[in-house]
Structure 1
């Protein structure tokens, strides 16, 4: 397993959410808190030893409770850095799905397998937007920068980047991609880190 960069995950998510504060408020910010819990749980899954097992159990408990409370079914290691969950659920994602960095996802979304299979789930590229109520099924691939319109049903791959898919079944309805609907938090984080590194070297 590759080294899990917890800082990049947390900061990428925060920036993609457009959060100016460095930490959630004590009251409120429930979805942001959920994302923080998810990232810590992912981080500790890869650790070994008694202490790690206890810490992992703590984060798993919080992840489980908050998933139920917010009506999210989001397995670990599905979303790349820069996740932005717009609203409380329901959101259902199959564990075999892979969604890239800087995804903005709305409520009512279901990302699942083809009928009769357990792991034939979608692969979605970086910098994508998934609108309310969208449904994606099967071993399909959605390219980078794609916006998926509300209530779209997608069961075929889209190899074109930076377009909008909509309808039932979905098809390209616009040459306008997701860039207006997302904040590329992981890219901002990487650029900031690189700038700081260059500054130290000067």
Structure 2
């Protein structure tokens, strides 16, 4: 949750890094639409949390307007720093969901509730969510998980650095971090699930 100018700068810098932008300070006048959207999202979060009435309304309007153009329905105070939205297209996220740092999300993703208002996912850091994935219910997704395209995730996965996919989602591969690289199975070797 962004509550100071320093945190706002940090979130903006991490989002810019996640989007792979390193050589510019500002978005292009024409283009960089996702970056512009994320700037509006972060500023809306900051001004909502600091209760700045005028700027809160200005950035709420810009956040919603830009989101409608791109097909994003992402509420404030859900994503941690380092958010990477890869493509235009429908992305719907419940306002009660909590998603950690460095989330990489694609188009067609829905992160929503099951029955009750707080039956929503809690997602860890460094999670990659493939196109068309659906996550719902009071579930936990651990750090470093890769969620395959069109997966339907309705149960918790608490083991870190794994790949899940399918309908309903199940573990399909054990993951390896960069530190584990020498111990990872090589191409063609069996992966023990």
| Bin for the TM-score computed over the shorter chain | 0.7 to 0.9
Give how far 1:2 is off: 7.0
> Is 1:27 matched up with 2:26?
no
Distance between the aligned counterparts of 1:154 and 1:32, measured in 2?
28
> Is 1:170 matched up with 2:178?
no
Provide structure 2 residue ranges, at least 5 long, that are not aligned to the other structure: 179-193
CA contact (8 A) 2:3 2:46 kept: no
Specify which structure has the bigger relative contact order, considering alpha-carbon pairs within 8 angstroms and separated by 6 or more residues: 1
State the superposition RMSD in angstroms. Answer: 1.5
CA contact (8 A) 1:146 1:178 kept: no
CA contact (8 A) 1:84 1:104 kept: yes
State the partner residue of 2:44: 41
State the partner residue of 1:147: 146
Distance between the aligned counterparts of 1:156 and 1:68, measured in 2?
30
State the partner residue of 2:8: 6
State the partner residue of 1:110: 110
SS of residue matched to 2:110: strand
Deviations, residues 62-117 of structure 1 (Å, cap 9, x unaligned): 01111111111100000000000000120000011000000000000000111x32
Give how far 1:177 is off: 5.8
State the partner residue of 2:100: 100
Provide structure 1 residue ranges, at least 5 long, that are not aligned to the other structure: 180-202
State the partner residue of 2:182: none
Distance between the aligned counterparts of 1:10 and 1:172, measured in 2?
33
Give how far 1:53 is off: 1.0
Distance between the aligned counterparts of 2:146 and 2:47, measured in 1?
32
Question: What is the TM-score with the length of structure 2 in the denominator?
Answer: 0.87
State the partner residue of 2:64: 64
Gap change, CA 1:30 and 1:2, over 3 Å in 2:
closer
Question: What is the TM-score with the length of structure 1 in the denominator?
Answer: 0.83
Give how far 1:22 is off: 2.3
Distance between the aligned counterparts of 1:124 and 1:178, measured in 2?
18
Gap change, CA 1:58 and 1:3, over 3 Å in 2:
closer
Distance between the aligned counterparts of 1:11 and 1:94, measured in 2?
25
